[in-house]
């Protein structure tokens, strides 16, 4: 009798264990397994996205004149009114400037060989001037005027006598006129330009077309190469200035 009771108790304990036992984990084939290193790599791998394009700068042409140095194509925008006459003038820099109307029409290209664009605006809206340097970088001066017509006078040599280091030249300029003066220089020398009237804009341009410096009434620059330099004199009203140029 005792043996029967003991046997019955053992059977009951085995039944209880089978009821509350954890389910057996399914068998995973080797091909379905993922190594711990693969899991770590998956979580640590940065999300990839398409390459971001290099957007060209867009700046507002808030003043009538821009003096900047750029190393990539740059667009300048301004508001124009239909029927108004516009003059865009490029008087320094190695670059091209393209004018676009509000509807995207290319209205013309300005280069050093063709220093300005003059015409009536065909519509009202935002106009764009896309400036592209011809080298890695370029300094430039771009003027915008809705009334004036700038005129460019022929290059005029500065009469520095033999063994002399400076000379003074008298000019008679009308309004909105640009007078380039030429002077030979050697690498390492310094050109100093001084006007008798501080209302004149002055600039120094290298033989390769780089704008070295500009200022009102005075400018100077150390020469990066040997050759013929241009001193650019800009007058926005009739004036009779004296320009002194020294090369040392």
Compute CA distances 228 → 84, 113, 187, whole Å. Answer: 39, 17, 11
Instruction: Let me know: does 90 contact 111? Beta carbons within 8 Å.
Output: yes
Mean pLDDT for the stretch of residues 127-148: 85
Q: Specify the pLDDT at position 18.
A: 45
pLDDT at position 19: 43
More confident site: 22 or 234:
234
> Is residue 152 over pLDDT 50?
yes
Compute the distance between CA of residue 143 and CA of residue 61 in angstroms, rounded to an integer. Answer: 10
What is residue 35's predicted lDDT score, i.e. its pLDDT? 46
pTM exceeds 0.75, yes or no? no
Q: What digits encode the pLDDT tens for the residues 110-119?
A: 886 667 888 8
The whole-angstrom separation of Cα 178 and Cα 97 is 19
Say if residues 205 and 211 touch (Cβ distance below 8 Å).
Answer: yes
């Amino acid at each position: 009798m005792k043996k029967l009771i003991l046997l019955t108790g053992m059977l009951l304990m085995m039944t209880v264990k089978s009821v509350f036992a954890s389910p057996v984990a399914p068998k995973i084939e080797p091909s379905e397994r993922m190594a711990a290193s693969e899991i770590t790599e998956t979580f640590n791998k940065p999300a990839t996205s398409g390459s971001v394009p290099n957007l060209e700068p867009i700046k507002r042409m808030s003043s009538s004149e821009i003096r900047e140095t750029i190393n990539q194509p740059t667009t300048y925008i301004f508001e124009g009114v239909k029927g108004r006459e516009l003059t865009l003038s490029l008087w320094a820099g190695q670059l091209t400037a393209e004018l676009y109307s509000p509807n995207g029409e290319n209205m013309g290209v300005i280069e050093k060989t063709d220093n300005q664009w003059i015409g009536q605006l065909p519509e009202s809206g935002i106009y764009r001037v896309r400036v592209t340097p011809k080298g890695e970088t370029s300094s430039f001066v771009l003027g915008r005027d809705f009334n004036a017509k700038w005129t460019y006078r022929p290059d005029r040599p500065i009469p520095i006598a033999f063994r002399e280091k400076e000379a003074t030249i008298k000019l008679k300029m009308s309004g909105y006129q640009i007078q380039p003066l030429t002077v030979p220089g050697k690498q390492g020398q310094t050109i100093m330009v001084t006007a008798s009237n501080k209302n004149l804009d002055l600039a120094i341009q290298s033989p390769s077309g780089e704008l070295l410096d500009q200022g009102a009434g005075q400018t100077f620059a150390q020469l990066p190469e040997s050759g013929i330099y241009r001193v650019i004199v800009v007058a926005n009203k009739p004036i009779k200035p004296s320009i002194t140029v020294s090369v040392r």
